[in-house]
Amino acid sequence: MQDCLKHLCWMLIATAGGTLGQAAERSGLKAEITPGGITVTESGKSLLHYQLRTKSLDGAWPRANYIHPLHDLDGDVITEDFPDDHGHHRGIFWAWHQVWVDDQKVGDAWVCKDFLWDVQSQGVEYGTDGRLRLIANVQWKSSQLSDQAGEMVPIVAEQTMITVHPAHNDHRLLDFKISLTALLQNVRIGGSEDVKGYGGFSPRIKLSQDQKFVGHEGDVEPQKTAVEAGPWIDISDGKQGVAILSHPSNPGYPEPWILRAGRSMQNAQYPGADAVEISPKTPTILRYRLVIHRGSVEQAKIPELFADFAANGQP
């Protein structure tokens, strides 16, 4: 109990189905787990849906383990799934073109080819401060790597925690902690094998003609290749916006950014075109925060929210 008084405590509310209990309902945040996914609402209004079950578009681009839809503070959907220009893009996702086991490339998680996200377990925790946390334990598998019985062999164990904060004034925070542990020897992941090197945490957000890209040193111009823009990027039209924050503990921090002014995702690039090893002993941990806000960067106080995330990001 003394530890609970000093630190935020979490209580596991649901693991297999149903809704959160009375404590969560009093905060306004509520989660419902179904076979297809976990839906989070606040005071009856939809916030987000985390996809548990594999879905596709008429059999194309099968995917799971991502968020869509994600709603802004007014309830409008701000993410895209199966867009016409890049059918493999999906809401808020994290994926890599390169997944290697020894010298064999096994599937392409970015384009959803020969790859499976097998959700082993899921649950919801409720924090003493009103936050809600989704937890998913996922195994990466590929049809290109099977055992003698023809069963796909698990390659990586992923545990993802998504912490949903109650709306505060004119912004909402979503924190992501993605932990990757190899289940085989000599596993490596990497981005696209070209000068772009894109791969990693990637929001596919609806864009307008009026949005600006702003980093910690000012305006940023999207380029074909990665740009150095510091630890956070804000995408806003001055009325509504989304900021993507990278935690200082991330490997490669501050990561380069792949930014697009239209018809694409935004990517905190890790690790780039050169694949890196995923350890079977020490997890690779990636942490990001999304800030869904009204107003400009200055009005939303993105630098202050980044400083808070850097100092107090979820453990």
Average pLDDT, the chain: 92
Q: Say what percent of the chain tops pLDDT 90.
A: 87
Domain span at residue 22 reads 2-312
Dmax over Cα atoms in the chain, in whole Å?
Answer: 59
Q: In sequence order, which residues have a C-beta less than 8 Å from that of residue 295 and are 6 or more positions away? A: 170, 236, 238, 239, 241
Q: In sequence order, which residues have a C-beta less than 8 Å from that of residue 80 and are 6 or more positions away? A: 68, 89, 91, 204, 205, 206
Q: What is the CATH number of the domain that holds 289?
A: 2.70.98
* 273 φ/ψ angles, rounded to the nearest 5 degrees: -70, -25
The C-alpha atoms of residue 268 and residue 281 are separated, in whole angstroms, by 25
The C-alpha atoms of residue 234 and residue 219 are separated, in whole angstroms, by 9
Task: Tell me the pTM.
Answer: 0.93
Domain count, the chain: 1
Q: Tell whether the model's pLDDT for residue 24 goes beyond 70.
A: no
**Interval 292-298 mean pLDDT:** 95
pLDDT in tens, 93-126: 999 999 999 999 999 999 999 999 999 999 999 9
Q: What is the pLDDT of residue 314?
A: 58
**Interval 140-165 mean pLDDT:** 97
pLDDT in tens, 121-147: 999 999 888 999 999 999 999 999 999
**Interval 241-258 mean pLDDT:** 97
Q: DSSP letter string over the chain? A: -HHHHHS--EEEEESSSEE--HHHHHHTEEEEE-SSEEEEEETTEEEEEEE-S-EEETTEEEE-SSEEEEB-TTS-B-B-BS-SS-TT-BSEEEE-SEEEETTEE--BTTTTBS-EEEEEEEEEEEETTS-EEEEEEEEEE-TT-B-TTSPBPP-EEEEEEEEEPPPBTTEEEEEEEEEEEESSSSEEEE--SSSS---EEEE-B---SS-EEEETTEE----SS-B---SEEEEE-SSEEEEEEE-TTSTTSSPPEE--SSSS--EEE-S-SS-EEE-SSS-EEEEEEEEEEES-HHHHTHHHHHHHHHHH---
Residue 254: C-alpha distances to residues 200, 205, 216, 228 (Å): 13, 21, 12, 8
Q: Tell whether the model's pLDDT for residue 263 goes beyond 60.
A: yes
CB 66 within 8 A of CB 92: yes
Token match 């995408």: residue? 235
- pLDDT bin (cut points 50, 70, 90) of residue 18 is very low
pLDDT in tens, 34-75: 999 999 999 999 999 999 999 999 999 999 999 999 999 999
Q: Does 271 sit behind a cis peptide bond, omega within 30 degrees of 0 on the bond before it?
A: yes
Among 47, 18, 21, which residue's Cα sits nearest to residue 34? 18
CB 30 within 8 A of CB 45: no
Burial string for 250-278 (b: 16+ CB within 10 Å, else e) reads beeebbbbbbbeeebbbbbbbbbbebeeb
Q: What is the pLDDT of residue 10?
A: 67
The C-alpha atoms of residue 304 and residue 296 are separated, in whole angstroms, by 13
* 198 φ/ψ angles, rounded to the nearest 5 degrees: -75, 145
pLDDT in tens, 166-212: 998 899 999 999 999 999 999 999 999 999 999 999 999 999 989 99
